[in-house]
Amino acid sequence: MRYALDALRRRPGRSAMTSLGIGLAVGLVVLLLALSSGIETSATTLATQSGVDLIAVSANASSPLQGEFPPVQGAHSLVQKIPAVDPNVATASPWLVSDLVFGNASLWAAANSSSVPNGWSPTQSGTVGWIPSDNTGLQTPDLENGTGFTFAGDPHYANGSYTGPSTHEIVLDQGLATVLHVWVGDLVWLGAAEPPSAAALKGWYANATPFRVTGISGPFWLVPSALLAFAYLSEIQEIVGGASAQTDYASLVLIHLTDPTTVDADQSRLAASFPQMTVFTLASILGAIQHVVNLYRTFGELIGLIGIVVAALFATTVLQMSVDDRSREIALLRAIGHSRPAVGSLVVEEALYLSVFGLAVGLPIAYVTGYGLNLYLRNLLVGLPTSFSFVSFNAVVLGDGLLLVLAVGLLAAVAPAARAMQLPVAEELRAP
């Protein structure tokens, strides 16, 4: 051990650069592993805490993770039909997810005075139409200000028709409220499409639907958008063209079970009863997420493997030079009785020390980089809860990093150790 450390101390610059190279390679791999582990762990935790046990989408949809959803017909009636078919269903909540266009009172005033300042235009935002009282057991955005929705159920959808009173109530998340410069009690106007020009703004407002802001919510991770609004299902349907007994559609139905341990049986029962829908379990959704994570992990592992190979070759070269520099010393060790394996083990020790020092350098680099990357991604994707982390340095990740370091050290030592064991003792001692 002392001999290996002394060999490193004699050439501090070369030893430091070798350890740094190994550390950078191992740090890169550890960072990639921590990134995939963090996404996988956080996504699983969020999904299990959401209260969503099953997601029903149209039979024409391939996955609930896709951005566009074919319509699920008869949305309002599914609230009663699904629990009637399966008594284990505690909540069946139809959601209509749409991109709508919002205008505020300032823009309305400018449009009606025909003096719209340059750069002023309506704002496009993700919008959810739902039945607020039918979200029991599901995680929904926290209300930060205001009273929220006044009425239970969906009052505009009266007795299977759209003849009930319109509430024109809407809840905006903090991001959208800030962009629109509105607060609780203010009016916003919603339309299905943007006006083609500033001159068309007055006509757009004439056809848009005014809503009163009754609440400001926090960001909502389930619909990953920095700008998001929530309103009654029937009133959003009227804007996007789904308000009739023949259409009455939603994008998906979120299902919360009383007993989630029977989720597979519930999936089969609902799929057989509603052939117009495809029902996904939480496990299948997480499996799709895992598939995406695995693709990125494989790509990252290929990059990391290249880095590890380069680091191992670099360390091999340095160790080979070290053996050549100490060829006479090694010959003396052999002459006084050290066996070939003992001499080879000295080279292996030196390689392992270089790798361990590299790990000591690489882990802090990986941690600092991971911390910065996590902050950047969290700021980029607004709406994630505080518990979500894109990076996780758990025991498995750190253990993999240690194994990689040992592998690099052992691989790098093979050729130099073999050379040290095969040095001709007599010739080295007679050399000038």
- The angle that helices 395-422 and 282-325 make with each other, rounded to 10 degrees, is 30
pLDDT in tens, 91-138: 999 999 999 999 999 999 998 887 888 878 899 998 999 999 999 999
pLDDT beyond 70 at 296: no
For the CA atoms of 414, 416, 422, 425, the dihedral, rounded to the nearest 10 degrees, stands at -150
Q: Identify which has the larger pLDDT, 428 or 145.
A: 145
What interhelical angle do 340-380 and 395-422 show, nearest 10?
150
Two tokens, residue 239: 């804007």
- pLDDT tens column, 302-352: 777 777 777 778 778 777 777 777 677 777 776 777 777 777 777 777 777
Distance from chain centroid for Cα 415: 43
**pLDDT in the model for residue 341:** 78
Give the least confident one: 20-24, 234-238, 285-289, 420-424: 285-289
In which band, very low, low, confident or very high, does the pLDDT at 226 lie, cut at 50, 70 and 90? low
Q: What's the confidence (pLDDT) of residue 129?
A: 95
Greatest mean pLDDT among 94-98, 356-360, 402-406: 94-98
| Eight-state DSSP code of residue 333 | H
Q: Is the pLDDT of residue 431 over 60?
A: no
What percentage of residues in the chain have a pLDDT greater than 90?
32
Residue 237: predicted pLDDT:
94
Tell the burial category of 380 from Cβ atoms under 10 Å away from its Cβ (0-12, 13-18, 19+): exposed
Rg (CA), the chain: 32
In angstroms, rounded to a whole number, what is the distance separating the alpha carbons of residues 188 and 176?
A: 11
Highest mean pLDDT among 50-54, 249-253, 291-295, 385-389: 249-253
Average pLDDT over residues 340-368: 80
Domain locations in the chain as residue ranges? 2-46+287-430, 73-275
**d(C-alpha 296, C-alpha 268), whole Å:** 32
More confident site: 99 or 379: 99
Are residues 190 and 209 in contact, defined by beta-carbon separation less than 8 angstroms?
yes
What CA–CA distance (Å, rounded) separates 341 from 326? 17
Question: Percent of the chain having pLDDT more than 70?
Answer: 84
d(CA 320, CA 310): 15
More reliable by pLDDT, 174 or 8: 174
d(CA 304, CA 150): 55
Average of pLDDT values for 9-34?
76
Calpha distance 245→222 (Å, rounded): 29
Distances (CA, A) of 239 to 118, 193, 234, 235: 28, 10, 9, 7
> Residue 384's pLDDT is what?
65
Residues forming a β-bridge with 228 = 126
Confidence at 12, pLDDT banded by 50, 70, 90: low
- Find residue 421's DSSP bridge partners: none
pLDDT digits (tens, 9 = 90+) for 56-80: 988 876 655 555 678 888 999 999 9
pLDDT average, residue stretch 200-213: 94
| pLDDT band (50, 70, 90) for residue 230 | very high
Q: Is pLDDT of 2 > 70?
A: no
Q: Which two tokens stand for residue 333?
A: 């060790």
